[in-house]
Amino acid sequence: MSFRIAVSGPAADAVRRAVPGLVADLVASGITAQDGTLWGPAAEEESSKRLGWTEAVAISRPLVPEILALREELRAAGVDHIVLAGMGGSSLAPEVITRTAGVHLTVLDSTEPGQVRAALADRLETSALVVSSKSGSTVETDSQRRAYERAFTEAGIDPVTRIVIVTDPGSPLDESARAAGYRVFNADPNVGGRYSALTAFGLVPSGLAGVDISEILDEAEAIELSLAVDTEENPGLVLGAAIAATAPLRDKLAIVADGTHIVGFADWAEQLIAESTGKEGTGLLPVVLETGAPELEADLPDVQVVRLVSDAGDQIFAGDSGEIRVSGTLGAQLLVWEYATAVAGRLLGINPFDQPDVESAKVAARGLLDARPEPAPAAFVADGIEVRGTPDVIGAASDLVSAIDVLLEELPANGYLSVQAYVDRVAHPEFAQLRDLLAARAGRPVTFGWGPRFLHSTGQFHKGGPAVGAFLQLTQAPVEDLTIPDRPFTFGELIAAQASGDASVLAEHDRPVLTLTLSDPATQLSTLRDAIG
């Protein structure tokens, strides 16, 4: 089979307890038939228009020859480098697809000026830009598109020949791009962004970069029937129950790649699950781990380990590790996890297709960009690092060490720490190493996200999920800012507003926040390591 799953311990108990009811309620066939009533009356209006992903394989097939034809056209024009401007599912799905295929794709999912400038300087003469935005009004992708339009023009290249648009039909971007003469691919409007891996959002950038996208669709198609039938072996029902029906709920999902051929899958699953389930005070928090992560040895009662392996075996109930083990082709995994997340939403009693708390951070950022207030003064400066935070954290801190100590003390017994790095992830990937240090120190699950891309991923969970998180923001003072054509703000001002806006919304939700602003990330990383201890 193209997908296999094995469960044991509490996850196996959850499957035995929940799956028979899901089968009796015809949940699998209902999802496939796009029955919007499965998540209750309050969710029906939204869910009834967000189930198009169940038929994404069939709807996306006609796109394949169009994408391949454009790929050949671009190659004939000397283009051998594809850049993707996208956020959330629009960037994470193409990233896992291309990385797994061993095909290069430059993913620009940041507003950090150094990272944008580096992308613009990378083979511009032989580059094409894919701009992906479902709503057509995403501020990050709009800003990136404007920067590339200017760069292409200044290089004597007509942007119309190098920029490809992926968006919903009728969006502001759809209309403006067509009027300007850009090549536009429309995605299915009945698919939410995080469920869009097998639509134009996943396929256009991946196909243009060189991936065999027909194979991805073939892999997904091979599992479709198994997902549609109401049986106790249905992998979508089994996985959904395993992650969402444990009792008591193990609401932190420690996802670790351990033998799988798929590269970066956990990052995609993180945004799918966190944004779909983290609302109304409940939800599942994916924690992306390496095989040596402290959480895997801690035996925490609220953590469910999900291990991505090369072969999970042919028995659903197997072993005594207490883990969930899954294996399969990439196309099959993408579709199974989408089904499982929809099933998890039903089991948790929430609507897995809305994101009610995402907009609040966007509104706060826009307000800061409009008002342009002076930055709040730092509570203190330690080793060149400006320290700010909520009163419960800063009020008891006198230096960097004590500030981190107080933040970790704010963690409840069932809490988690979220590290949010608004720094150039291409220039400073080593910042991700702080995650393991903090997990070992805290003795609790620690997530790590690059800002602002995590705002389109786990940001919903942070505000709408259980109020048990503490938040460490790492921001970077830009060495050299970058203007955004025809916009009254720069990239540096935009990312600063995004960080400040999210911090303010978290504070309004009574979440403890510590913000450290670095003047020299490369050298101050060691200072942070020492302070963590």
CA 82 to CA 84: how far, in whole Å? Answer: 7
Would the pLDDT of 501 be above 90? Answer: yes
Q: Report in angstroms the alpha-carbon separations of 325 from 236, 254, 290, 317, 342.
A: 14, 12, 15, 10, 19
Cα gap 345→280, rounded to integer Å: 12
- Measured between its terminal Cα atoms, the distance across the chain in Å is 47
The mean pLDDT of 227-233, rounded to a whole number, is: 98
Q: What is the mean pLDDT of residues 213-234?
A: 98
Residue 360: predicted pLDDT: 84
d(CA 412, CA 311): 37
pLDDT for residue 517 is more than 90? yes
Helix pair angle (235-244, 330-348), 10° resolution: 50
Residue 130 contacts residue 87 (beta carbons within 8 Å): no
Report the mean per-residue pLDDT for the chain.
Answer: 96
Angstrom distance (rounded) from CA 514 to CA 499? 12
The answer to whether the CB of 387 falls within 8 A of the CB of 75 is no
Confidence at 169, pLDDT banded by 50, 70, 90: very high
List pLDDT tens digits, range 353-387: 999 988 888 888 899 888 888 888 999 999 999 99
Check residue 116 and report its DSSP letter.
H
Q: What is the pLDDT of residue 368?
A: 86
Report the C-alpha gap between 300 and 4 in whole angstroms: 26
pLDDT at position 376: 85
Beta-strand relationship, 163-167 and 416-422: unpaired
**How many other C-beta atoms can be found within 10 angstroms of the C-beta atom of residue 507?**
16
pLDDT of residue 270: 98
Say what the pLDDT of residue 144 is: 98
| SS3 call for 262 | coil
Check pLDDT > 80 for residue 446: yes
Task: Read off the tokens for 260.
Answer: 């799988």
As a whole number of angstroms, the distance between CA 533 and CA 485 comes to: 44
What tens digit of pLDDT does each residue of 83-140 get?
A: 999 999 999 999 999 999 999 999 999 999 999 999 999 999 999 999 999 999 999 9
Amino acid, res. 237: L
CA neighbor of 149 nearest in space, from 172, 168, 175, 176? 176
Residue 175 pLDDT: 97
Mean pLDDT of 447-470: 96
Report residue 289: phi and psi, to 5°: -125, 155
pLDDT at 287: 98
Give the single-character DSSP code of 160.
G
**Per-residue 3-state assignment (H helix, E strand, C coil) for 394-420:** HCCCCCHHHHHHHHHHCCCCCCEEEEE
Give the residue-averaged pLDDT of 326-338: 98
pLDDT, tens digit, 9 for 90 and up, residues 341-351:
999 999 999 99
Rounded CA separation 353/215 (Å): 27
The model's pLDDT over 242-269, given as tens digits with 9 standing for 90+, comes to: 999 999 999 999 999 999 999 999 999 9
- Return the DSSP state at 53: G
Predicted local distance difference test score (pLDDT) of residue 294 = 98
List, in sequence order, the alpha helices (H) in 112-234: 113-120, 139-154, 172-180, 200-209, 213-228
pLDDT band at 1 (very low <50, low <70, confident <90, very high): low
* CA–CA distances in Å: residue 62 to residues 57, 69, 405: 10, 12, 56
* % of residues, the chain, pLDDT over 90: 94
Instruction: Please state, in angstroms and rounded to a whole number, the distance separating the CA atoms of residues 7 and 57.
Output: 28
Query: The pTM is what?
Result: 0.97
Helix extents (H) in 155-279: 172-180, 200-209, 213-228, 235-244, 265-277
**What pLDDT is attached to residue 25?**
98
Beta bridge partners of 326: 5, 308
Structure tokens belonging to residue 436: 């393991």
